[in-house]
Amino acid sequence: MAGTDGRIIFLVHTDLDGACAGAIARRVFGENVRIYFSGPRTLADSLAKIKGCQTLGIVDIALNHSDADVVVERLRRIRESGCEVLWVDHHEWADADIKKVSQLGIKLIVEKSPSAASLFYRHLAPNDLISKKIAEIADDGDTNTNSLELTLAYKVGARTNADRKKLIEMLARGEFYNEEVEKWKRTLEEEEKTINKLSSEARTLKTASGLSVAFVDLRRYRIIGSLLAKKLQMAGHNIVFILYSDTGGVLYGDGSVDLLPLALKYNGGGHRNACGVNYRLNLIDRLMLKIYRRYVPAGARRILLDLAKL
């Protein structure tokens, strides 16, 4: 990711919203923009790889409070090299972190919005009708409404770096359907069978206040987790905890309780109804995972215990 003077670099999140933001960035800045994928947990590492650029954009990536000092120092180095920095995000930030980043002379836009892509569109490309349509797709997907015909297919396409790049270039051209999208649709049809199976097998618990929590381990599967969460919420579960990897997952809520404080406790963040949680593996976790891949690490079990207290 080493840049040179004159280069435009964008870091976007690894989901449909991030892909849509990347497509809008391509339309705004043209072929010269280099688009890379990052996230709250990997942002500091991504910034360390940037050696120089004219413009750095960061879209749909929240600043984890626990990583704020490291990220700020790496942004300071980038700013001192003469690079202009634009950061657009729609997640909830701590006021202290907004102040730290703003003091670097960065153009920081942190506002409530259905998606970061639509926020990006409104500020940078308000008169571009293609960008408007891309933003509408991001809104539909990031709110988990999924009412547009192809949103779920696009979510399948946003799962891997290779497909995500294809999706970005396709949308940036104003192309919304092609053979790749048809392939993603077929993949989705197969995955819906797995989603139905997993929703019926979810482990459940009741919180202290009577809320229903569903827990699903998705580490062995490649499906749209937010679609599974929505199905479980429609079945009456207020909170869904999906374990995506050995070291973290996502909490999905129906609005009954603000999940963000719990996410912040576990080095995560996001929104009150959808937020990431992360933890470190201990020695026993590492040993057990070598023996039994379906072993649930201690960090995930602690999160379930904390959910039970709500």
Tell me, letter by letter, the H, E, C secondary structure of the chain.
Answer: CCCCCCCEEEEEECCHHHHHHHHHHHHHHHHHEEEEEECCCCHHHHHHCCCCCCEEEEECCCCCHHHHHHHHHHHHHHHHCCCEEEEEECCCCCHHHHHHHHCCCCEEEECCCCCHHHHHHHHHCCCCHHHHHHHHHHHHHHCCCCCCCCHHHHHHHCCCHHHHHHHHHHHHCCCCCCHHHHHHHHHHHHHHHHHHHHHHHCEEEECCCCCEEEEEECCCCCCCHHHHHHHHHHCCCCEEEEEEECCEEEEEECCCCCCHHHHHHCCCEEECCEEEEECCCCHHHHHHHHHCCCCCCHHHHHHHHHHHCC
CATH ID of 8-177, from 3.40.50, 3.30.1280, 3.30.450, 3.30.70:
3.40.50
The pLDDT-based confidence of 273 (bands split at 50, 70, 90) is very high
CATH 3.10.310, the chain: domain bounds: 198-308
pLDDT at position 2 over 70: no
Q: Please indicate whether residue 33 or residue 2 has the higher confidence score (pLDDT).
A: 33
- What's the pLDDT at 4? 43
In the chain, ranges of CATH 3.40.50 domains: 8-177
pLDDT of 1 > 90? The answer is no
CATH number for 198-308: choose from 1.10.3470, 1.10.10, 3.10.310, 3.40.190: 3.10.310
Tell me the pTM: 0.89
The stretch 206-216 carries a mean pLDDT of 98
